[in-house]
Structure 1
C-alpha cells in the first residue's frame, strides 16, 4: 500500500521539514563560500602588505575587509574557468561526439581514451616532481603546477566518460564511487591551489603598483607634539615655533600605506624595499594628519 499523503499531498513529507532542509543547505553553502573568499582575501592581503614587512595581524582587518579584497583574486579565475568549460563542452559536442558515433567507434574511442590517460599520467608525474623538488622544479613552474593537476584529473575523468561509449552501463560499484570521489577531491584541491596561487600573484602586483605610485600619491603631513623617529628619502622634519601651538614638529614627504582603527602605516615617498623603514603611528590626540595633493 502506498504511503498516505499528508495535507499538502507530498507523500508524508512535512512542508516545514522541507523548508528547514533547504535553508540548512543554503546556509552551509554560504558558509563554505564565505570561508573560501575570506581565505583568498587573506592570501592576497598577506602578500601585498608582506612586501612591506607588515604582518596582517597588526592591521586588524575585519572579515568584510578580507571578503572585499578577495574579489580581484577570484573574479578572473572564475570567468576564465567558465568560458573554458563552455569552450570544451562545445568542442566535445561539435567534434568528438560526431566522430565517436560514426564508423569504427570502438577503435576511435579506445585511441582517445589511451591518449587522455597517457597525458594525465605525464601531467600527474610533473605535479609530483614539482611537489617533491619544490625548490628546484616547483618554484620555477609556479602556477603551472595546480593547472597541471586540474588538467590531469580532468583528462582522467574525460577518459572515463569516453569509455562509456564502447561499454554497456556499469553499475555504481564501490570502486567506481571511490575513483569518482578521488578525482573530484583532487580537482577541488587543484582549483583551490590555482586560485590561491593567482591571489599571491595579484598581491605581488598590487604591492609593486603601490611602490611605483608612491611619488604621485597625496603627501601626508604629520604633526606631532613629541619628536618621532621618522626619517627616510624625501622626509623632512620642521620644528614649529608658533606660540601656543599644540604640535611642535611637522613631518613632510610621507605617504599613507593603510589606515586601521588604531594606527597609520606610513612610508617615505621614495621608499625602497630592504632599505627604508615602514612606520606604524598610533592614532591618538598628540597627532594630526594633513593630506596635500600636489599639482600634476
Structure 2
C-alpha cells in the first residue's frame, strides 16, 4: 500500500507540475520561482486527472457490457456464419490497430509535422491500437477454445505484459497531454478575466520598478507613514509563501511584465472587490 501510494503521489505531482508549468509559462514565469509545495502541485493535478480517468472508466464499463451481451453470445453458439463474422472482425481490428500504431510511430518521429498537429489525439491512437490488439488476441483465443502448449502460453503472457505496459504508457501520455491542454486553457481564461478580478493596490516603502498599461503610481506625502508609494492598476496572478506575482489589469503576452514582489514588512497589498 505504501509503494502504491508513493507511485500515485508521484504521478499526481507530475501532472500538477505539467499543468502549473504550462499555465505560468504563458506569463513567462517558471513555477520554481514561485516555490510551490508538493501539496500545491497535487491540488493543481485534480482538474487534469479526474476528467480523463472518469471518461476512461465509463468507456471500459461500456465496452465490457458490449462484450458480455453482444460478442460472447455470438461466440458461444459458434455457427459457421458467426465464426466467420468474428474472424473477420479480428482481422479488421488488427488492421486498424496496425494503422493506428503506424500513425503513433510517425507522430513520434515527425513531432513537428505530425505529432504537434495531432496533439492529445496522438496518445489516444496508441491506446486504441493497444486495446484493439489485445481484444483481437482475446477473441482469437475464445474462437479456438483449445488448450495451449506451454510455449504458446508463455508467448501469450509476454504479449499481454507488453500490451499492458503500452496501455499504461499511453494512458500516462494522454493524461499528460490533457494536463497541458488544461494549463493552456486556464492561462487564456486567466488573461481574459484579469480586468474583472479584484483591484490590487500595492504600498511600498521604496520606489519599485513597476510599470505597464494601466498601472499608476502615487507618492504618499503623509507624515509618519511607513509607505511612501502607492501602485494601482495591478492584479494578483499568484502568490507563494515568499513573494507575489503581479500583472497589469490588461496584461498582453510579449508586451507586459510580470512583477515578482518579495513579501516583507516594507510591502503591503490591499484588494478591492469589483
* Fold conserved between structures, TM > 0.5: yes
Q: Does 1:169 align with 2:147?
A: yes
Verify: 1:151 aligned to 2:128, yes or no: yes
Question: 1 CA distance for matches of 2:199 and 2:43?
Answer: 26
Distance 2:25 2:33 in 1: 11
Instruction: State whether structure 2 residue 37 is matched by structure 1 residue 62.
Output: yes
Q: Which residue of 2 aligns with 1:114?
A: 91
Which one has the bigger helix percentage? Answer: 2
1:66-215 to 2 correspondence within 5 Å? 66-102=41-77, 103-104=79-80, 105-167=82-144, 168-171=146-149, 173-215=153-195
Tell me how large the CA RMSD over aligned residues is: 1.1
CA distance in 1, matches of 2:148, 2:177: 38
Larger Rg: 1
Residues 75 and 143 in structure 2, CA contact (< 8 A), matched pair in contact too: no
**Separation (CA, whole Å) in 2 of partners of 1:169 and 1:150:** 29
**Shift of residue 98 of structure 1?**
2.1
Match of 1:287 in 2: 267
**Which protein has greater RCO, CA pairs closer than 8 Å, 6+ apart?**
2
What are the Cα deviations for residues 22-57 of structure 1, in whole angstroms up to 9, with x where unaligned? xxxx11111111111111111111111111111011
Q: Which residue of 1 aligns with 2:12?
A: 37
Q: Note the C-alpha offset of 1:109.
A: 2.6
TM-score (ref. length: structure 1): 0.88
> Aligned equivalents of 2:24 and 2:123: distance in 1?
24
- Per the TM alignment, residue 99 of structure 1 is displaced from its structure 2 partner at its CA by 2.0
The alignment covers a number of residue pairs equal to 269
* Cα distance in 1 for residues equivalent to 2:92 and 2:54: 28
- 1:257 CA drift (Å): 0.6
Q: What is the aligned partner in structure 2 of residue 11 from structure 1?
A: none
Match of 1:256 in 2: 236
* Contact 1:109/1:165 (8 A) holds in 2: no
Distance (Å, rounded) in 1 between the aligned partners of 2:23 and 2:102:
32
Q: Work out whether 1:223 is the aligned partner of 2:203.
A: yes
Residue deviations 1:67-92 (CA, integer Å, cap 9, x gap): 11111001101110011011111111
Q: Which runs of 5+ in 2 are unaligned?
A: none
User: Unaligned regions of 5+ residues in structure 1, if any?
Assistant: 1-25
Normalising by structure 2, we get a TM-score of 0.95
- Asked whether the equivalents of residues 104 and 122 of structure 2 are also in contact (C-alpha less than 8 Å), the reply is yes
How far apart in 2 are the matches of 1:170 and 1:48? 53
Question: In the aligned structure 2, how far is the partner of 1:171 from the partner of 1:289?
Answer: 75
- What stretches of structure 1 move > 4 A for 4+ residues in a row? none
**In structure 2, what is the Cα distance between the partners aligned to 1:151 and 1:72?**
24
Q: How far is the alpha carbon of 1:171 from its aligned partner?
A: 4.6
Q: Secondary structure at the match of 1:170?
A: coil
